[in-house]
Amino acid sequence: MARKLYELVGAEDDRRFSPYCWRSRMALAHKGLEAESVPWHFTDTDAIKFSGQGRVPVLVDGDKTVFDSWNIATYLEDRYPDKPSLFDGLTSRAMAGFFNSWVDTTVHPALIGVILMDVYDHLGAADQAYFRKSREERFGTTLEAFVADGPAKLAAFRQALQPARITLAKQPYLGGVGPQYVDYILFGAFQWARAISPQHLLEADDPIVPWRARLLDAHGGLAGNAKGYPV
C-alpha cells in the first residue's frame, strides 16, 4: 500500500496508545482512506528519520511525508477535498485549532497524571528506560512521585472535561450532529487511556460516556476493536 501511518505501540505491536496517532487514524477513516499501520516504539528513532524529526504520527502518502497530527489533518482535508470533510469549512477549521490547543494544554496534562504508570507498564524494556528518563526530566520528579494522590488526579481530569461535558449533554458530537475532527481530537485522549489503562476514567452517568461509545463504534468499530481495556 502506498499509504502508511507510523503509530506508537507498546511492548505488544497491536497496543496503539498515542492520542495523536489516534487523531490521525480516525481522520483517515473519516476520509475513507486506508493506510497501513507501521508499529513504532519510542526508541525506533531511525525508522522515521526520513521524516526529518523524531515523533509519530508520521503519514506517508505516496511521495508525500507529513508529520504532526494537526498537519496531517489539514493535509488530508486539502489533499482529499471530495472525501467527507474533517472540518466543514474554514471557520470551524480555525476553531478546531483552538480545540486542539485546549486538549493539548488542559486535557492531556490532566490525564497523564492518571495513567502515566499504566503507560510505563505496557512498554518494552528499552522504551521503559527511555520513558522514565525523558519523563522524569520533563516533570522534575520520579514517575512514581508524579502519580501520587491518584484520586485527586482523576478528579482533576474529570473537572478539566467540564466544558466538553456541558456541550455533550446538549448535542451528540462536539462537531454537532456527526463526528468531526474536533471529536477525534478529544477522543484520542480516551483511546490513549483505553489502550493501556484498566482505570475507569468517567462516571457511568457522565454525558461524555455515550459520546465515547459512539466514537468507539464509528467507522466500523475501528477504535473499539483496537486492543485495549474495557472502558
**Most distant CA pair in the chain: distance in Å?**
50
Listed in sequence order, the residues at least 6 apart from 34 whose beta carbon sits closer than 8 Å to its beta carbon are 1, 3, 28
Taking the C-alpha atoms of residue 83 and residue 122, their distance in angstroms, rounded to an integer, is 36
What is the closest distance, in whole angstroms, from the C-beta atom of residue 105 to its own copies in the complex? Answer: 5
Binding residue for its own copies (CB under 8 A) from 38, 43, 97, 136? 97
CB of 206 to its own copies, least distance (A): 15
Binding of its own copies by 94 (CB under 8 A)? yes
Is 9 in contact with 121 (CB distance < 8 Å)? no
Q: Output 89 or 220, the one with its CB closest to its own copies.
A: 89
Tell me the H-state helices in 80-180.
90-102, 108-121, 125-139, 143-146, 150-160, 162-168
Q: Output 15 or 158, the one with its CB closest to its own copies.
A: 158
Interface with its own copies (CB under 8 A), residue from 80, 102, 130, 131: 102
Q: Where are the beta strands (DSSP E) in the chain?
A: 3-8, 36-40, 58-61, 64-67
Closest approach of Cβ 80 to its own copies, in Å? Answer: 18
Confirm or reject binding of residue 51 to its own copies (CB under 8 A).
Answer: no
Which phi and psi (to 5°) does residue 11 adopt?
-60, -35
- Per CB under 8 A, contacts with its own copies among 139-168 are 162-164, 166-167
Q: How many residues bind its own copies (CB under 8 A)?
A: 32
5 or 182: whose CB is closer to its own copies? 182
What's the rounded Cα separation, in Å, for the pair 74 and 56? Answer: 16
Give me the least distance between CB of 23 and its own copies, in Å please: 16
Name the site residues for its own copies (rule: CB under 8 A). Answer: 87-99, 101-102, 104-106, 162-164, 166-167, 170-171, 173-177, 180, 182
